[in-house]
Amino acid sequence: MRLRREVPKEYSYVTVVTYGRTGSTAIQASLNALPGVLVRGENYSAMRGLGTYLQSIAEVADRHHAGKSTHPWYGSARLDPSAVLADIRRHVIDYLLRPTADTNWIGFKEVRYEPGHFASYDELLQHLIFLGKLFPGLRYVINVREPVDAARSGWWPENSDAIEVLTTTREWLLSATVDLNTFYGSLRAVCVAHEDWVADPKVLIDAYSSLGLPRDDQAVRAALLERLDHGPRPG
């Protein structure tokens, strides 16, 4: 008797792309209020290392095809980057995102997109595109805040270059919204501004709807009214 292998569940994916002190934890809470949506918090950009690993595998597989044990690239002939990518996806879902039985949409938020975390805008954009490969059909909720307002909040006053860093980061994320939609050829990224959705939650409600997320206007509004537990270094 042959055992039936369980077919992995197919999920839809969403990620929150932002920087510190932009209200991203409130966005996270409002997404989690939607039916079937599970968005985990920050993970210290854990996917950066995975992207570097996959890139190395892909370059070896592309440039070297050695099967002999006497060759310096021995074993490269059997490397399969697509299989590695699928295995990384399973690992991230099972051990980092950890969906529940009723999860249909899954993802995470991250605030580490400033200069210092990324050497250039191109490097940041390539990472966001890698995330789209890791999570097929990924939707990007890109959240920005006026640099002067963000700089007054949280730990930013400790950074003498805060305004410059935040201004550059905001510009990067605005550009990424346009470039991601151009790259995919469809609406995959929306940009929302903290000052807009704080004044009117419908800004977030409409943004989520435009990305195809489940809709529950009342739940989003209620989530945005809740007091949040930010922890020692809030997002």
User: Which residue type is seen at 90?
Assistant: R
pTM of the complete model beyond 0.85: yes
Alpha helices (H) in the chain, listed in sequence order: 24-32, 46-63, 81-92, 121-134, 147-151, 162-184, 194-199, 202-210, 217-225
pLDDT of residue 232: 46
Cβ 166 vs Cβ 21: under 8 Å: no
Q: What is the distance of C-alpha 131 from the center of its chain?
A: 7
Residue 4 has a pLDDT of: 46
Neighbours of 117 (CB within 10 A): 16
User: What pLDDT sits at residue 6?
Assistant: 56
Say whether 39 sits in a helix, a strand or coil.
strand
Classify domain 12-53+88-225 at the CATH topology level. Rossmann fold (3.40.50)
Element containing residue 108 per DSSP (H, E): strand 105-110
**Contact between 141 and 16 (Cβ < 8 Å):** yes
Integer Cα distance of 57 and 96 in angstroms: 22
Angstrom distance (rounded) from CA 215 to CA 50: 32
Domain ranges of the chain: 12-53+88-225
What's the one-letter identity of residue 63? R
Sign of the alpha-carbon torsion through 179, 182, 183, 184 = positive
Q: Given this model, what pLDDT does residue 5 score? A: 47
In the beta sheet, which residues pair with residue 107?
14, 39
pLDDT in tens, the chain (235 residues): 444 445 568 999 999 999 989 999 999 999 999 999 999 999 999 999 999 999 999 999 888 887 888 878 888 888 999 999 999 999 999 999 999 999 999 999 999 999 999 999 999 999 999 999 999 999 999 999 999 999 887 666 667 688 999 999 999 999 999 999 999 999 999 999 999 999 999 999 999 999 999 999 999 999 999 865 555 444 4
Q: What is the pLDDT of residue 3?
A: 46
| Beta carbons within 10 angstroms of residue 207's beta carbon | 20
Dihedral sign of CA atoms 24, 34, 12, 183 in order: negative
Instruction: Tell how strand 12-17 and strand 105-110 pair up.
Output: parallel
Specify whether the CB–CB gap between 16 and 139 falls below 8 A: no
Burial of 122 (0-12, 13-18, 19+ CB in 10 A): exposed
CB 25 within 8 A of CB 19: no
